[in-house]
Amino acid sequence: MGGIRGTGRFGFAMAATVAALLLGCATGRVPPSANVDWLLGTWQWHTHSRFEFVRDGDEIAWTMTRARVLSNNPRWGEKAAVEVAGKVATVTSDRVEAFGTYERSDTPPLVGRRFRMWLKREGGAVLRGEIVGAGNEPIPVVLRKAPEP
């Protein structure tokens, strides 16, 4: 079924949302006392996709940039170059849930479609979880923190 070990995608999303409500950040606003510096910066997925997380006032904004790439999934063939952007909905010391939309794409019908992600921090430099993009299917991901320039 996918999901983070033993929780399932929706179980994780529900748990993250409940935790965020308790911590006061379900609206995407990050309390000043929250230590979310671990999330900020650049995270790499394979060689063709990059996620950037930055503070935007009292919220965390994110972008994902993917270069045009051949997919190993026969359903997709070649995947379009895209830019996706959104806000982090919930963040804790080891989990993040975020939503956004396709802002730019080589394939115009993708623009405006929803994008969602649920990630769990493993150590200091790995995020593991799932994304759901335009295909509306969960895709397992492992993001690795890019070295500081």
pLDDT digits (tens, 9 = 90+) for 18-38: 444 434 344 567 765 568 899
Q: CA-CA distance, 39 to 125, in Å (whole number)?
A: 9
Which pLDDT value is given to residue 95? 95
Domain for residue 2, yes or no? Answer: no
Q: Is residue 14 part of a domain?
A: yes
Under the banding of pLDDT at 50, 70 and 90, the label for residue 50 is very high
Residue 42 included in any domain: yes
- Specify if 87 maps to a domain: yes
Is the pLDDT reported for residue 79 higher than 70? yes
Check residue 8 and give its pLDDT.
53
Average pLDDT, the chain: 82
Domain of residue 65, residue span: 9-30+38-145
Q: What is the pTM of this model?
A: 0.77
Q: C-alpha angle 10/122/96, rounded to 5°?
A: 45
Number of domains present in the structure of the chain: 1
Q: What is the CATH number of the domain that holds 64?
A: 2.40.128
pLDDT tens digits for range 89-126: 999 989 999 999 999 999 888 999 999 999 999 988 99
3 within some domain: no
Strand residues in the chain grouped as ranges (E): 41-45, 49-56, 59-66, 69-70, 78-79, 82-91, 95-105, 114-122, 126-132, 138-145
pLDDT (0 to 100) of residue 21: 40
